[in-house]
Amino acid sequence: MDTQHLSTFVAIAESGSFSVAAARLHLTQPAISKRIALLEQQLDKKLFDRYGKQTQLTPAGRALLPHAREILQAVTDAGRALADLDGEVSGPLSIATSHHIGLHRLPSVLSEFSRAFPKVHLDLHFLDSEKALTAVAQGEFELGVITLGGQTSGQITQRPIWRDTLEFVCAKTHPLTQQEPLQLSDLCDYQAIAPDSNTHTTRLIQRLFEGNELTLNISMVTNHLDTIKMMVSIGLGWGVLPRSMIDAQLTTLNLQLPPLTRELGVVFDNRRSQSNAAQKFLAVLQSSTQAG
């Protein structure tokens, strides 16, 4: 099968649109349609159903998609391995990271790496940690820098880099600041602002409440910790944030609990040979953390 036809097929499958795929691949829509027609002719299977402007995979298309991704990834890996033989650190390096890590942990690492290896093209994408982990496992990114703790198979290596201490916080004007002594059960009377329930951070909080036979009252959900900080700071509810984000806008609640922590780090597929760029990035990440 022609890799151009397969890359076109994957682009349409991921975007759900012939026109969006055409723009992504810098091709005309007739050229995109022709590639798919040739691929369908070669396979003797219809790959897409069209309903007006909607495009959906047929059963044959769904069966082909993971194999197409694997084939394209193998071709990419082969080209990268050959290019890496001379030891040069260049080419693309795809990284998925969460907004919090990308904004608060990675800037100095990315700056140092880009200065040391200017021939590497950093392809950085911001995703929720759980989605980034899945994308790395599916071969969409070479590295993920995320909150660790998600379910992984044996193919994914998780390497801790940072440890976040989490604190319960609220606005200075919140009624919780007037309660002394403060118990965990007191928080149940007020609205919480937290990430989505499928995130590792919120699961940590839920386990703490459930372990004390309490019900967590989450009124607003957002996966951006900076947004949670803003909403908590203006008194819309209490929240849980990394200690590194707490400033004069917030009051830390003294709950006399064991420290609540989470690990942040890097993940990668251990079945794939790492590019020179990925190896150097991991080295810079580790060294900058040790220096910090």
Task: Report the CATH number at residue 177.
Answer: 3.40.190.290
Q: Are residues 134 and 271 in the same domain?
A: yes
In this structure, the answer to whether residues 146 and 285 fall within a common structural domain is: yes
Considering the domain architecture, whether residues 114 and 158 belong to the same structural domain is answered as yes
Angstrom distance (rounded) from CA 247 to CA 241: 11
CATH for 117: 3.40.190.10
pLDDT score at 287: 84
Final residue belonging to a domain, choices 64, 81, 98: 81
Examine the domain organization and report whether 99 and 229 are in the same domain.
Answer: no
Distances (CA, A) of 273 to 224, 283, 284: 33, 16, 18
The answer to whether residues 287 and 157 belong to one domain is yes
Same domain, 59 and 96: no
Domain range enclosing 219 = 164-262
Q: Do 90 and 173 lie in a common domain?
A: no
Is the same domain home to 152 and 109? yes
pLDDT of residue 79: 72
Q: How much is the pLDDT for 72?
A: 82
Query: Of 49, 81, 113, which closes a domain?
Result: 81
Q: What is the CATH number of the domain that holds 74?
A: 1.10.10.10
Number of structural domains found in the chain: 3
Average pLDDT, the chain: 89
Q: What is the pTM of this model?
A: 0.74
115 and 186 belong to one structural domain:
no
- The contacts found for 32-40 with CB under 8 angstroms, 24 or more apart, are 32/8, 35/2, 35/4, 35/5, 35/8, 35/9, 36/5, 36/8, 36/9, 36/12, 38/2, 38/5, 39/1, 39/2, 39/5, 39/6, 39/8, 39/9
For residue range 225-248, what is the model confidence (pLDDT) as tens digits?
A: 999 999 999 999 999 999 999 999
Kindly state whether residues 157 and 168 are assigned to the same domain: no
Do 152 and 106 share a structural domain? yes
What is the C-alpha to C-alpha distance for residues 198 and 204, in angstroms, rounded to an integer?
10
- Beta pairing, strands 143-147 & 250-252: unpaired
186 & 216 share domain: yes
Asked if pLDDT for residue 16 goes beyond 70, the answer is yes
